[in-house]
Amino acid sequence: MGHRRLIAFSTLRCGPWGPRRFDDRPDYASAERFPNAQGRFVAVPEEFFRCERLEPYSHVVLLGYSYCIDTDILFHCVRRFPGWIGVIASRTKRKQMFARLEARGITAEELARVDAPVGIAIGSESPAECAVSILGSIIRDHRLGTASAGAGVNGRREREERAS
């Protein structure tokens, strides 16, 4: 999973988006690891979301490493960020995360903005291909809008997932 995060971050650097890195582990948000990041934040989710304004961001992609932390980060993202949110997750992890978030008061309407598993269906296998797939989801949302992503639940998205 770490390689996917690094490559997705590097791929985003090639587009018109300026990626920022947030991690609760200092080694994973370092300037050495991400020299071209426009911002690097080392904090637990509560501290990050208490201090960071999300309005300037166009998209948020959660490429997490821990189910518990990912769910907490997604809770804060959905509550504080009004736009498209992508989450790298299996369908099983998505189902579990969404159930926990609904139990915490997140509505189905709020979860509809979450594209999980993130990425357009291109049959990705390598970390670089996963990064391209994720960037494809961002471009799709940028050009066509959040509704086009289907948040992983409409027929179009399900057909894409079966095709990959």
Arch. (CATH architecture) of 2-163: 3-Layer(aba) Sandwich (3.40)
> At residue 1, does pLDDT exceed 60?
no
Of the pLDDT bands very low, low, confident and very high (cuts 50, 70, 90), residue 44 is: confident
Stated pTM of the model: 0.74
User: CB count, 10 Å around CB of 97?
Assistant: 24
Which residues does 102 contact at the CB level (< 8 Å), separation at least 6?
Answer: 108, 111
Q: In this structure, what token pair is assigned to residue 56?
A: 């300037």
d(CA 19, CA 26): 17
Domain positions in the chain? 2-163
